[in-house]
Amino acid sequence: MSHALVIQEVTKRYVGHLAVDRLSLAVPTGSIYGILGPNGAGKSTTLRMVMNIIARDSGSISVLGADPAVDRAVLRRVGYLPEERGLYKKMSVIDVIVFFGALRGMAEGTAREHGVRWLEKMGLAQWQRARVDTLSKGMQQKVQFITTVVHAPDLLILDEPASGLDPVNQEVLRETILGARDEGRTVVFSTHNMDQAEQLCDSLCIIAQGRKVLDGSLREIRRGHAAHKYRVEFESVTPDAVALMSRVDGATRSGDTWEVDLPTADDVRRALTQLASTSVPVARFEHVRPSLHQIFVEHVGHAEVAARRPETTHA
């Protein structure tokens, strides 16, 4: 499998603390890859090193097959959305888009064409000539997103893309990311929103305090964490039901439902037979799959991580 982005043993130390500690990860080409972690985990620092905005202390990075610190030109094939947003406020919407397109090597005419198409797609067609600072915040975010993708990059790097978006625009973002993947592009994004990652990611990596905690494809990770927990719920909690469940080893009750550990297929079959033989009507019997959130919490703890340090010194 080819990889659009490979990070190996990358370390970045700021004065007084280690921001990224021997981090390695590989993003398969054409996939959506999430970098998950609590605030201050080193997500932005990692992405900034990928974009050659800050220098890594050690390790290697390969973006679309080249080291961006050596071959800067490769970054023109990347679309980068920084965590903190901003555009030239006094330029017109279309001019901003054309500027960023041209900066990545597009002919201005082509950039304009693509820009207009994107604006139409995002429902901003009539705002082309408007000055950026006359737009609402949500519209500015969309425009900035267009500046990130207008040059049809092979790799999209989005730092907290959903932050500050309302639900409608989050949906637009989700569709755009999925659309980019369907066109064969690779999308890497950072987030601390597990639900969002769960909806989008093909693969992911969880980092905390600069270190990798876990990575792999979402399916593998889920499978790896698939506990043998089953949930049982009755139509009504009768004394018979309570008596039945009390005979099951390790069943725990919470409200009207019980959770049971059933390690093997035989255990499951036996449990079903038992349930079927009672007079108590069963409402639900299901395999409990761990949510990404649970996996995350299990590995990282309840975000008991040092708050982000202000980035004051880079020397």
Partner 1 sequence: MRDILLIIKREFQERVASRSFVIGTLLFPLLLIGIFLLPRLVGSGGTVWKLALINEAPAGVGAGFIAALSRTPESRDDNRYRIEPIEGTLAQHRDALAARVQGKDLDGYVVLPADVMARGGMIQFRARKAGSFAVIRDLRTAATRAVQSERLRTAGIEPAAVAALVAPVQVDEARITVRGEERGGALSTFLAAYVVAFLIYLMTTIYGVTVMRSVLEEKTNRIAEVLMSTIRASHLMAGKIIGVGSAAVAQVLIWAVIMAVVVTQSHRLGERFSLPPTVLQALRVDASTGVLLFLFFLLGFLLYASVFATVGASVTSEQEAQSVQFMALIPLIVPLMFLQSILNAPLGPTATTLGIIPFTAPIAMPMRLASTPVPGIEIAISLVLMVVAIAAVSWIAGKVYRIGILSTGKRPTLGELVRWVRTA
Contacts to partner 1 by CB under 8 A: 48, 51-54, 68, 72, 75-76, 78, 80, 82-91, 95, 99-100, 102-105, 147, 310-315
Report the side by side order of strands in the sheet with 282-287: 252-254, 257-261, 229-234, 282-287
Q: Which is nearer to partner 1, 86 or 263 (CB)?
A: 86
Q: Which is nearer to partner 1, 62 or 199 (CB)?
A: 62
| SS3 state at 305 | coil
What percent helix, strand, coil does the chain show, rounded to 5?
A: 35, 25, 35
The distance from CA 148 to its chain's CA centroid, rounded to whole angstroms, is 17
Beta carbons of 280 and 261 less than 8 angstroms apart: no
Q: How far is the CB of 90 from partner 1 (least distance, A)?
A: 6
Q: How far is the CB of 100 from partner 1 (least distance, A)?
A: 7
Residue type, position 249, single letter: D
Q: Which is nearer to partner 1, 80 or 258 (CB)?
A: 80
Q: Which is nearer to partner 1, 302 or 314 (CB)?
A: 314
Q: How far is the CB of 144 from partner 1 (least distance, A)?
A: 9
Q: How far is the CB of 91 from partner 1 (least distance, A)?
A: 7
User: Which of 124, 111, 122 has its CA nearest to residue 175?
Assistant: 122
The distance from CA 308 to its chain's CA centroid, rounded to whole angstroms, is 19
User: Which of 80, 50, 44, 52 has its CA nearest to residue 154?
Assistant: 80
Q: Tokens at residue 124, please?
A: 């901003």
Beta carbons of 311 and 20 less than 8 angstroms apart: no
| SS3 state at 231 | strand
Q: Which is nearer to partner 1, 114 or 212 (CB)?
A: 114
Q: How far is the CB of 75 from partner 1 (least distance, A)?
A: 5
Q: How far is the CB of 50 from partner 1 (least distance, A)?
A: 9
Size of the chain, expressed as the number of residues it contains? 315
Q: How far is the CB of 82 from partner 1 (least distance, A)?
A: 4
Q: Which is nearer to partner 1, 164 or 216 (CB)?
A: 164
| SS3 state at 213 | strand
Q: Which is nearer to partner 1, 157 or 300 (CB)?
A: 157
Beta carbons of 28 and 4 less than 8 angstroms apart: yes
